[in-house]
Structure 1
């Protein structure tokens, strides 16, 4: 047990290769099997953090070797389609939420997929539930990766008092969208989600649609129909607490053929679309918000349609916008 703990600590310090060698000598496993176990450990620690628990930004933390094992477990890939100007600020709309937003975390809160190299000079901040920041240890852990509370004060500060080159990633569909995520389904909760557009207008921050192909494939969920007691319970939690409890499962720790908390190792490909230039309007009218919201929805659909066949979906697949 002490050896395993020491190995895990070594990975956090970025000494992945020496740990591989030590584990091979200890357990007589092949390199590929040891790497697979490290991938499982890296994903499990984040899943447990997400479920049980709920600093400042650190490039050292964002570059931990453990995140590369996390990336390779699925694997997760980040696709850039356009350059982003460092003289502008951005709001990325991330879709779909999935159960845990694993693609959003890996791509924008770590450097495992090379976001800093693909978008030089851009500082990504993944926005998540403000309640996660009430616990001191978890708060510092999240902030070290560039995660911020999804509240008005935090977003206003980043977009108005932190210079340019900032990108806030908002999982627009939120808890409501997570209730409908299931393998084989591509749907987003977006029709009545317009607050992020209003924020973009007030700060003159360009909007960037982002779609993650495969985000809904990594967990299987029990979907409760509208009007059922199960959906009532979920919506009640969502209204009063801010998140919706989902009944889901992935694979077991020791076997992919058993149920457990580990996500299935299905590929997740996150495509960052073309930015939409947004003017700065201190008090945008509802008509202006609706206009740019419509532009955003159309851009997201075009992004989905352009790349769907490249990542395993048939040309007939349609993105459902709710």
Structure 2
């Protein structure tokens, strides 16, 4: 394979963009294991007290992730997130105003490989979420597993991430006065296995947990579609029925996380690596669906709201696909 190296005279701005994305990819893929190793390593050095003191803090702070986390505004406004935004680039698109007196459940689609659009738009201020939706505070849900990793848990909480379990989401949606939005990548880790360039496949047909969550708390549902989310990485072909997909599905059931075999470009060359391609991501926030509070919704209530949500998401996709380079004959596929 012929390797295409990056030119020597790359402008400083582009180099800074690459560094910003590199640290983000490392944080997503490698920081958690490094934090575990560091915690254990310190126990067997003269700095053992650091791990002991942290373990004490960890015990006392155990419930914080499920109680809204600990967002640090300064962290969300760091310049590196703007460099990351400009690398692709990433844009957050508002279609209507959202009432800051209401609480919301944002359904984010598709998951993609690394939920790039969701993190940049809802965990940082790089795309100006607070300017577009004044009075709203967003909380992106992430697998609870990662909040059990020492040091790493504190880092991700700083960006407004909270565990993707019912108790954590309910705590946010129960807050009086409104102004809170939990962002759920509805397809989850399983949907990442279908994140191929050109694919617009959404794992939603049997996903009703977020619908029930919204009804129990009277939180309005907001469909969000991220055009370009599946374009920034290539993935080894893994259609249903192949041995690779069989292994991936079984590992996902055992471990709770999916293992897509993805690749794109490198840092100093454009031929292979784990750095995403420089392709635009446009995250479009749709119209809210007003939800009446029902603490014990019936199956019929859930089905009706679920059908309405799929309708709204499909309409959002159809209304905006032409603007972002999706062929006219391409339609959203629900599985």
TM-score (norm 1): 0.88
Point out where structure 2 has 5 or more consecutive residues left out of the alignment: 1-6, 33-68
Alpha-carbon separation, structure 2, partners of 1:210 and 1:162: 24
- Alpha-carbon offset, residue 136 of structure 1: 2.6
* 1:42 and 2:56 are equivalent in the alignment: no
What is aligned with 2:297? Answer: 284
1:273-312 matches, within 5 Å, as 273-312=286-325
2:243 to 229, 232, 235: 229
* 1:63 and 2:77 are equivalent in the alignment: yes
Structure 1 runs of 4+ aligned residues shifted over 3 Å read 29-32
Alpha-carbon separation, structure 1, partners of 2:239 and 2:176: 44
What is aligned with 1:12? Answer: none
- Alpha-carbon offset, residue 53 of structure 1: 3.3
- Alpha-carbon offset, residue 229 of structure 1: 2.2
Alpha-carbon separation, structure 2, partners of 1:223 and 1:123: 38
Deviations 1:224-279 (A, max 9, x none): 222322112211221122111111101011022x2001000100000000000000
What is aligned with 2:110? Answer: 96
- Alpha-carbon offset, residue 119 of structure 1: 0.2
Deviations 1:188-243 (A, max 9, x none): 01000110000000000000000000000000001322232211221122112211
Alpha-carbon separation, structure 1, partners of 2:10 and 2:83: 12
* 1:207 and 2:185 are equivalent in the alignment: no
Deviations 1:50-85 (A, max 9, x none): 112357101100000000000000000000001111
* 1:216 and 2:230 are equivalent in the alignment: yes
Pair 31,62 (structure 1): closer, same or farther in 2 beyond 3 Å: farther
What is aligned with 1:23? Answer: none
Alpha-carbon separation, structure 1, partners of 2:20 and 2:27: 11
1:64-213 matches, within 5 Å, as 64-161=78-175, 163-213=177-227
- Alpha-carbon offset, residue 113 of structure 1: 0.4
TM-score (norm 2): 0.85
- Alpha-carbon offset, residue 163 of structure 1: 4.2
What is aligned with 1:53? Answer: 31
Deviations 1:289-312 (A, max 9, x none): 000000000000000000000111
Which secondary structure does the structure 1 equivalent of 2:172 belong to? helix
Which secondary structure does the structure 2 equivalent of 1:216 belong to? coil
Alpha-carbon separation, structure 1, partners of 2:176 and 2:257: 29
Pair 277,31 (structure 1): closer, same or farther in 2 beyond 3 Å: farther
Point out where structure 1 has 5 or more consecutive residues left out of the alignment: 1-28
- Alpha-carbon offset, residue 31 of structure 1: 9.9
Which secondary structure does the structure 2 equivalent of 1:212 belong to? strand
Alpha-carbon separation, structure 2, partners of 1:158 and 1:73: 32
Which secondary structure does the structure 2 equivalent of 1:260 belong to? coil
Alpha-carbon separation, structure 2, partners of 1:278 and 1:175: 27
What is aligned with 1:268? Answer: 281
Alpha-carbon separation, structure 2, partners of 1:160 and 1:89: 9
What is aligned with 2:331? Answer: 318
The RMSD of aligned alpha carbons is: 1.5
